[in-house]
Amino acid sequence: MTNKTCLIIVLSGLACLCQPAHSAPTVSELVNSMTRHHPYVFALEEKVVQADSSLDIAQSAFDPTIEQDFGARVSGYYDGASLEQRYVQPLSTMNAKVFSSYRISEGDFPVYEEQYRTLSGGEASVGMSFALLRNREADKRRTGLLNAELERAQAGAYIQYSMNSFLSEGLYNYLAWYESAAQERALRSQIAVIREQEIALATRVRSGDLAEVALVEFQSTLLEQTALLAKLEQKKLTSARALSFFWRDSQGRALDFDPDFIADIDWPYAVNNIAVAELKRSLETHPSLLSLRIKQSELENKGALVQSELLPMLDAKVSLSRDIGSGPLSLEGTESKVGLTFSYTLGNRKAEAEVRRNQSQQNEVELTAQVAQERLIQEFEQAVVNWQQATKVAALLEETARVAGELAMVERRRFVAGDVDMFVVNARVTKEIQARMKAIESQVDVYRAELALFKITAQLQQADQA
């Protein structure tokens, strides 16, 4: 293998390494990549795992438990031992618990420990405890479970809101790249035409048909447009680099891409008057408002609990028990027991303060939701006006660019005929280029205005999936 062949292979390999491996994404490809492969989305999904865990924790308050007590007198005049096992099942009504137990004892007990004594086969019992006043309608376990379910819904609202903000950030970066790439492509096409005219002018200057100053004047305009092209290329490359943060492969790795302009933007967020009306209706289910409604429900659940704390505690307990085997006659037969426990804090200032605080918190959230809804409606209506005006401006500037192109062509023909000088031609060319740049910018402004409508209503992801 010759040195020349080796050099060609090496240079070819370097060229392959320098070239981006991926073409530029369409909008749908970008959104799909962001929603499925970006690490930020994976971090958001952990919120659901945490909310599900909180729900499991709250539900565990109603898990059954097994308890066991054992005691023995290992020295002294008495030598009794007692073992008791209990199964307790909490219920979701009246702060109730159902329980069953079995206990057995043997040995001698003093009078004050006589309650440990059973017949030889032990004692089996079943019973229930429940609240009659405080904790009857609401208690910490049930409130915790209700609010854990709301936390799951809260996580969904948070993810929707965060995803909408994340997508809008990526899409605005996409439009920044798209605008600079489109302008660069249009200007590069214009400069190609200008260079062809430069060759024709140079030929006329050499033949003496045209003064050299005309060529210098033309070249000055060409340099100005070339400098503008360099700035647009810089903006395009910078925007493409920023956009690569949002575009990921299936492994979640950032992708570089060929920043050249793509012909089809594949824009899924175009709107009309009907779509605008539908978007406005979707404000009712905006995740920020949904989050506040969920917060209101959480406070209402807590409010029921603190209202319950105002009541005295009056708990009841009923049980049936029966001893098995031989022993004292006093332990034979079925025993039924009923018990009541009562307590009340005099003054109860803490519970009253909790009620006032909870009511104030509910009022705060309600007013905050009202303000948030009004602000969303105002922002949406402003965005609608901006979209309407951007659409009109885009149509006018597109027509302006078309007319500027026709005028530039006319001035070129007049220059060839000797009716105008190069200064007029250059002015027309400059205006044509400026008009084309503004037309592209105005069209992208329409995209931005449409994007704003979907961002405000938090419908970016839903629109792309439609």
Same domain? For 67 and 53 the reply is no
pLDDT value at residue 12: 43
Q: Are residues 185 and 84 in the same domain?
A: no
Residue located via tokens 């028990």: 321
On the question of pLDDT at 37 being above 80, the answer is yes
Sign of the C-alpha dihedral, residues 375, 381, 384, 390? negative
What is the pLDDT confidence band of residue 9, given thresholds at 50, 70 and 90?
Answer: very low
User: Is the pLDDT assigned to residue 313 strictly greater than 60?
Assistant: yes
Looking at residue 4, its pLDDT comes to 47
CB atoms within 10 A of CB 242: 16
pLDDT at 212: 67
pLDDT over threshold 90, residue 85: yes
DSSP label at 122? Answer: E
Say if residue 182 is in the same domain as residue 220.
Answer: yes
Mean pLDDT calculated for residue range 327-356: 89
Query: Is 60 exceeded by the pLDDT of residue 8?
Result: no
Q: Are residues 44 and 68 both part of a single domain? A: no
In the prediction, which pLDDT does 6 show? 47
Rounded to a whole number, what is the distance in angstroms from the first to the last CA of the chain? Answer: 58
Residues 189, 330, single domain; the answer is no
Q: Which position has the higher pLDDT, 461 or 303?
A: 303
Q: How far apart are CA 461 and CA 466, in angstroms?
A: 9
- Answer yes or no: is 227 within a domain: yes
pLDDT at 148 over 90: yes
Contact criterion met (CB below 8 Å) for 195 and 221: no
- As a whole number, mean pLDDT of residues 145-167 equals 95
**Domain containing residue 255: CATH number:** 1.20.1600.10
3-state secondary structure of 31: helix
Indicate whether 239 and 338 sit together in one domain. no
Question: What tokens were used for 51?
Answer: 């909310």
Positive or negative: CA dihedral 139, 144, 145, 150: positive
* SS3 state of residue 66: strand
Number of domains composing the chain? 2
Greater pLDDT, 300 or 263: 300
pLDDT of 194? 75
For residue 125, give its domain range. Answer: 63-135+312-346
Per-residue pLDDT reduced to its tens digit, 384-419: 999 999 999 999 999 999 998 888 787 777 766 666
Name the average pLDDT for the chain: 88
**How much is the CA Rg of the chain, to the nearest whole Å?**
40
Angle, in degrees to the nearest 10, between helices 27-37 and 140-206: 140
Whether 283 has a pLDDT exceeding 60, the answer reads yes
pLDDT of residue 363: 97
Q: Would you say residue 438 lies in a domain?
A: yes
Instruction: Tell me the CA distances in angstroms from 2 to 8, 11, 12, 13, one per residue in order.
Output: 10, 14, 16, 17
Query: Does 15 fall in a domain?
Result: no
Residue 369 lies inside a defined structural domain of this protein: yes
277 and 411 in a common domain = yes
* Whether the Cβ atoms of residue 460 and residue 454 lie closer than 8 Å to each other: yes
Q: Does some domain include residue 307?
A: no
| The total number of residues written for the chain in this structure | 466
Give me the mean pLDDT over the 294-302 stretch: 96
Looking at the chain, the whole-number percentage of residues with pLDDT higher than 90 is: 64
User: In this model, does residue 1 exceed pLDDT 60?
Assistant: no
- Does residue 273 sit within a domain? yes
Q: What is the pLDDT of residue 16?
A: 41
Is 203 domain-assigned?
A: yes
pLDDT at 257 over 60: yes
Question: Domain check: are 157 and 49 in the same one?
Answer: yes
Highest mean pLDDT among 126-135, 192-201, 250-259, 261-270: 126-135
Residues 53 and 68 in one domain: no
Whether residue 106 contacts residue 78, with contact meaning beta carbons closer than 8 Å, is answered with no
- 152 and 222 assigned to the same domain: yes
- Could you tell me the CA-to-CA distances from 231 to 183, 187, 262 in Å, in that order? 11, 11, 19
* pLDDT, average across residues 296-322: 94
Encode pLDDT of 339-353 as tens digits: 999 999 888 899 999
18 pLDDT band, cuts 50/70/90, is very low
Per the listing, tokens 């034979």 go with 332
For residue 104, list its beta bridge partners.
Answer: 83
Residue 8 in any domain: the answer is no
Helix (H), strand (E) at residue 383: helix 349-417
Question: If you average pLDDT over residues 81-93, what whole number do you get?
Answer: 94
Structure confidence at residue 65 (pLDDT): 96
Binned at pLDDT 50, 70 and 90, residue 109 comes out as confident
Which range of 75-79, 216-220, 413-417 scores highest in mean pLDDT? It is 75-79
Distance CA 154, CA 364 (A): 18
Shared-domain flag, residues 73 and 53 = no
The residue among 353, 371, 356, 358 whose CA lies nearest residue 300 is 358
Asked if residue 67 and residue 54 are part of one domain, the reply reads no
